[in-house]
A and B are shown apart, each in its own frame.
Chain A
C-alpha cells in the first residue's frame, strides 16, 4: 500500500485471517514526523484522504472537527496536535485513518500511510520510558520491522485521554459490558 493511495481500504477480514494463524497480527504503519507508528489493523475501518471538517465549538485543539462518513458524524483527531508535535501544512499525502474502537468510529489525521506489515506479536518489546517523542502511556510496545522500529500505539488509551468521550458515558458502557 503506497502512502498516497489515500482511499485504499484495509478490510477487517484480512486482519482477522492473519490473526487466526498463530500469534501473527498485522499492523497498519503510518508516518508522523520522523517516526513510523503502527496500529492494529483490526481496529482500522478505512483510510481516507484529508478533507476539510466542520469545527466543533469549544473543543480541544487536537479535535479538528467532525466529518460526514457515509451518513455518520465522525470526529477527527489530529495526532500531531495530540502528541504536541510541530504542526505542518496538510498535503496530498495527509490521510485520515478511521478506526473503530470502544464502539465508536473516530478518524486520526497522520502525515501519511506507510504499509501493512505482518508481525509476530510475541516479539513486541515493551516501550521504554524515554526515547520516543510521545508519552509512554500511548505506546503498546515497539516492533522491529526490518530495519525500522515501529512504535505500536495504544489507540484505546489515546482516545480515552483525548477528551473525545465523556467519562461518565465510558464508565457506564464499560460497567454495562460486565
Chain B
C-alpha cells in the first residue's frame, strides 16, 4: 500500500509555525526575565524537527538538528543562554520561519540559507560527539546465499511485561526462512515461586535463511536488552563470524554506558516538566467554517422570511405558529453566534509578534523600550486578525521609531530611561478596541499643522482642535518625514493604515499630549460576516447603513436646514452646523421627498460628522454581509450587500466612501466652511430617535 503523506504537509507547516511562535516567545521571555520554560522551548524545536523529517522537509529537519542540540544542552543546564547565544537562537527562529514560509509556498530556499546560523549553533555543540544523525547499524551483508544460524534466546522473566511476546518474534523469524524452535523449560520454578506473569522459558532457534545477520538481529531489536541472545552461524566463513562478534560487543557496551548516563539526567528533567493548561482543539479547514457561516446566514434569512409570513398569518388568529417561529429564530441566532465563534481567534496571534519587533527596532535605534501587552485573549474574527497585522505593525513600529525619544533625551525631560509601549485589546459593545500607547514625545502640533497648510489641506486662518490636526496625518500624501523623524516619517503610510482599518469596518482615533505620549485607538467589529445595520428607504430601494456609523436620526425641518453661499446645505443639529448631504444626489436617484417628510441620519465617518438625508427609516436589522465583488466590480459608496427577509438584495453603504465622493463632487465641504463647524468631539452614541 502506498500512502501519500504530502496531504499532511499543510497541517505540519501550520503546526510548525505555532511551535516557532512558542519558541520565539519562550526565548524572548527568557531574555527578558532570565527565566523561562526551557523544556517547552526545547520541545517546540524538537517537534518541528520530528515532523520535518517525517514529512520530507529535509532542510528544516537538518537546520533544526543543531538548534535542538543547543536547546537540549541548555535545558540540561550544560549551556547557559547568554545574550549572544540568545541572539543566535532568535536568528535561527527567523531562518526557520523563512524555511517554513518557503515550504508553504512550495518554493526552495537558497542552499546557503541558515548556513551561518547553523555554524554558530554548532560551535556551541563542539565537544559533543557528532553522531552525524546516522544509525550505528553496520551495512548489511545480505543475499549471499543460504545461511544457517543458531540462535539462543534467553529472555528475562519480565519480558512479557514490556508487551513483547516471543511468539511474535518466532512469527517474524519464520517470515525470513525456515525455522526450528526448541523450547527449554529448565528455568521453570516450583509452583510456589511461580509467577504467572513472568517468563521462565528460553529457546533455541535454528534458522535457515537468505538474509544477513543484521536483518536477523533486527528482529530481536526490541528485546535485546531484556534477553541474552547469542547468534552462531553454522556454515559460513569463520572470518566473517569473528568480525561480527567483535562489532557487537563494543557497540552494546557503549550504548549501555550512554544510556545509564543520559537516563539519570532524563529522570531529572522529567520532573521539571510542568503541565500547562491545555484545551482540546480540532483543526478544520477555514473553507468548511465559512461554508457553515454562509449556510447559517441563509438559515437566518429564511427564518426572517418565515417570521414575516407567520406574522401575516397571525392576523387570522394563528398566534401559536408565530410563537414557534420566534423560538426557532432565537435558536437560529444562537447557532449563528456559535458558528461565528469558531472563526474567532485571540488577538495574541497578532500581539505575539510585537515583543520581538519592538526589541529589534529598539535595539537598532539604541533605544530602551518595554512592551506591555494586555487583553491578549480578546477574540476577533480570523480575517480581521489577519488584516489588522499590517496596520498594527506600522503603528507599533512608528511608536518605537518616532514616538519614543532617545534615552538621553528622555533623561533630560525627567522621564524614566526605559520607555513604554503598551498594546491593549478589550471589548466594547459589539466592537473590539485596540490601543497602542507610548510615553514618548507626542505628536508635534505645529509641525503637522504647518505641513497641512503647506500641502493645502488646512487653512492657515482656521482654528483647529488638536483632534482635527491629528487627522491630517491620515491624509494621503501627508508626510512629516523631514521634521518629525529620522527614518521614514510618521506620516508615511498612515493613510494606508486608516484605509486598511476602514476596510475592516473599523475606525482609528488619536490622542496625543506633547511631551507625554500618544495613544492610537482602533475600534474594530468583532466579525466581518454579520453587521448590525439600519435599513433605510430611498426612492423605493432599501439600503443598509452600519449602526456603527450612526449617531442619531432626526426629522429635519425647513428651519434647521439652510443653504449657504456656496449652495451647500447645512443642518442645525443641537446648535451645531453639520454638512447636510442628500443621498439621492450622490446616487443620482429621483427622490422628491420634501425635507420635512424625510429623515436626516447623523452619521460619522473618518471622524467627520454629517447629516445624510434619506426618505425613510425601516428599522434595525442584523444582516449577513455578502461580497458584491465576487461577481461584480467594486462600487463606490457600497461596501457589500445582504439578502433581506423577502429574498431581495439590499446594498450596504460605505459612509467613508460616500463622504469622500460627496466631498470630491462638491456636495460636502468638510471643515473649512465660513460657518466652521466646531466642537464636535463628543463621540457618544445617542439612541436612535425613530419618528
Contact = CB atoms under 8 A, between A and B. Distances in A.
Do A's and B's CB atoms come within 8 Å in the complex? yes
A164 B587 contact: no
B635 A54 contact: no
B589 A57 contact: yes
A73 B638 contact: no
Interface residues of B, number: 29
A165 B634 CA distance: 8
Contact of B635 (A57, A67, A104, A169): A57
B545 interface: no
Contact of B633 (A72, A74, A164): A164
Interface string B285-326: 000000000100110010000000000000000000000000
A131 interface: no
Nearest to B542: A54
B598 interface: no
Interface string A34-73: 0000000000000000001111111100000111100111
A106 B181 CA distance: 77
B586 interface: yes
B626 A71 contact: yes
A54 B541 contact: yes
B297 A53 contact: no
Contacts of A56: 628, 632, 635, 638, 651
Contact of B638 (A57, A74, A163, A165): A57
B649 A54 contact: yes
A73 B648 contact: no
Contact of B541 (A55, A72, A164, A169): A55
Contacts of B628: 56, 66, 73, 75
A5 interface: no
A104 B628 CA distance: 11
B637 interface: yes
A57 B633 contact: no
Contact of A58 (B297, B301, B588): B588
B632 A73 contact: yes
Given A68-B643, A71-B643, A73-B641, A165 B649 contact: no
A166 B541 CA distance: 25
A68 B648 contact: yes
A73 to B, nearest CB: 5
A105 interface: yes
A131 to B, nearest CB: 33
Contacts, number: 75
Contacts of B651: 54, 56-57, 66
Given A73-B627, A73-B632, A75-B631, A68 B649 contact: yes
Contacts of B636: 58
B635 A68 contact: no
A59 B297 contact: no
A19 B297 CA distance: 38
A72 B541 CA distance: 19
Contacts of B650: 54
A73 B626 contact: yes
Interface in B611-632: 626-632
A105 B630 CA distance: 8
B632 A165 contact: yes
> Could you say which of B633, B636, B638 has the most chain A C-beta atoms within 10 Å of its C-beta?
B633
B416 interface: no
A72 B638 CA distance: 16
A57 B301 CA distance: 24
B647 interface: yes
A106 B648 CA distance: 16
Q: Specify which of A58, A59, A106 lies most central, judged by the most chain B CB atoms within 10 Å of its CB.
A: A58
Contacts of A73: 626-628, 630-632, 641, 649
Nearest to B635: A56
B633 A165 contact: yes
A75 B301 CA distance: 20
A72 B630 contact: yes
A105 B631 contact: yes
A54 to B, nearest CB: 4
Contacts of B630: 72-73, 104
A71 B649 contact: no
A46 to B, nearest CB: 14
A146 to B, nearest CB: 35
A74 B627 CA distance: 10
Contacts of B638: 56-57
Given A68-B643, A71-B294, A73-B626, A54 B648 contact: yes
Nearest to B649: A54
Contacts of B648: 52, 54, 68
A71 B648 CA distance: 10
Given A73-B628, A104-B630, A57 B587 contact: yes
A72 B626 CA distance: 7
A58 to B, nearest CB: 6
Nearest to B540: A55
B505 to A, nearest CB: 18
29 contacts: A54-B641, A54-B648, A54-B649, A54-B650, A55-B541, A56-B632, A56-B638, A57-B586, A58-B636, A58-B637, A59-B635, A66-B641, A66-B649, A67-B649, A68-B643, A68-B647, A68-B648, A71-B626, A72-B630, A73-B628, A75-B628, A75-B631, A104-B630, A104-B631, A104-B632, A106-B632, A163-B633, A165-B632, A165-B633
Interface of B: 294, 297-298, 301, 541, 586-589, 626-638, 641, 643, 647-651
Interface of A: 52-59, 65-68, 71-75, 104-106, 163-166, 169
Given A66-B628, A67-B649, A105-B631, 6 more contacts: A56-B628, A57-B638, A71-B301, A71-B643, A104-B631, A169-B633
Closest 4 CB pairs of A and B: A57-B587, A166-B633, A54-B649, A75-B632
